[in-house]
């Protein structure tokens, strides 16, 4: 069934783990009245997804992507978690010598132990890890990648779009080396115009994942967006691909 998604907002959601509040947007498929249960994608930087009046630098055009995906039979519930003034710390798994941070585990506990149970209680979700995804870009991509590796019992799918692999670089790559690879799917991408260091880090991560037994294929997709920059417009252009791979195991192009 196609049609526009239905958006609502949970206002001022309290996080006992982080000691703060934030709004959380929930996008329900147009077919929600059917009574079915749906996979859930938890997206970081939620205010940038669809509302130009809230977005930092343009939106991800989430509504358009969801409508196109629905026409192809891919229908998730999307939970857009707004960021806070503590964004850098919350999205960083490890502290960086210059930028500090390192509250990623507490943020993941907020999503898994406080927010997810509320979403599962209020909406008809498919609750298992195989149907639960994290997704984001930049620092949001970093915490999504980390969450997939750190909490595979909750998040069996992840889309790390242009992840900020430079943040806590050595500790992050050491963690990837030592982590046990989950059984679920990972989508990773980068724009070739994001800088030589960013592209080098992404390719290095791909090599490490392949060495650990995760070659590109049914469980892992890596996309280099030729000419893509580190910006919302580029991520919007790749969002449909990311969602399709996570939820249906295939790229759209």
Full DSSP string of 221-236: EEEEETT--SSHHHHH
CB crowding 104-129: b at 16 or more within 10 Å, else e: bbbbbbbbbeebbeebeeebebebeb
Q: Regarding beta strands 157-161 and 132-137, do their DSSP bridges make them parallel or antiparallel, or are they unpaired? A: parallel
Burial of 95 from C-beta contacts in 10 A (0-12 / 13-18 / 19+): middle
Q: What is the mean pLDDT of each run of 10 residues along the chain (253 residues)?
A: 81 98 97 96 95 79 94 96 96 90 97 98 97 98 97 98 93 92 96 96 96 92 96 95 94 72
* 5 neighbors 67 (Cβ within 8 angstroms): yes
Q: Tokens representing 119?
A: 């979403």
State residue 2's pLDDT score.
59
What is the number of alpha carbons within 13 Å of residue 71 lying toward its C-beta? Answer: 9
State residue 170's pLDDT score.
85
Closest CA to 247 of 112, 45, 73: 73
Superfamily of domain 6-248 in the CATH hierarchy: Alpha/Beta hydrolase fold, catalytic domain (3.40.50.1820)
- Rounded to an integer, what distance in angstroms lies between the CA atom of residue 183 and that of residue 164? 23
State residue 251's pLDDT score.
84
CA dihedral over 28, 75, 161, 252, signed as positive or negative: negative
pTM over 0.85: yes
Please give the DSSP secondary-structure letter assigned to residue 130: G
């Amino acid at each position: 069934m196609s049609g526009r998604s239905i958006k609502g907002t949970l206002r001022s959601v309290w996080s006992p783990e982080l000691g703060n509040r934030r709004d959380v947007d929930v996008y329900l498929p147009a077919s929600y009245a059917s009574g079915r249960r749906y996979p859930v994608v938890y997206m970081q930087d939620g205010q940038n997804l669809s509302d130009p009046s809230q977005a930092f630098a343009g939106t991800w055009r989430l509504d358009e992507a969801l409508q196109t995906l629905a026409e192809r039979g891919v229908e998730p519930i999307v939970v857009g978690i707004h960021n806070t003034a503590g964004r850098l710390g919350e999205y960083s798994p490890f502290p960086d010598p210059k930028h500090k941070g390192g509250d990623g585990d507490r943020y993941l506990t907020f999503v898994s132990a406080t927010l997810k149970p509320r979403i599962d209680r209020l909406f008809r979700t498919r609750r298992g890890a195989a149907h639960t995804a994290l997704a984001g870009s930049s620092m949001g991509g970093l915490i999504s990648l980390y969450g997939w590796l750190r909490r595979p019992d909750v998040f069996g799918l992840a889309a790390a779009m242009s992840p900020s692999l430079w943040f806590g670089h050595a500790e992050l790559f050491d963690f990837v080396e030592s982590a046990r690879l989950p059984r679920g799917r990972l989508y990773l991408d980068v724009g070739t115009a994001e800088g030589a260091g960013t592209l080098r880090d992404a390719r290095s991560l791909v090599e490490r994942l392949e060495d650990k037994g995760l070659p590109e294929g049914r469980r892992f997709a890596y996309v280099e967006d030729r000419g893509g920059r580190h910006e919302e417009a580029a991520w919007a252009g790749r969002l449909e691909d990311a969602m399709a791979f996570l939820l249906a195991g295939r790229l759209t192009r």
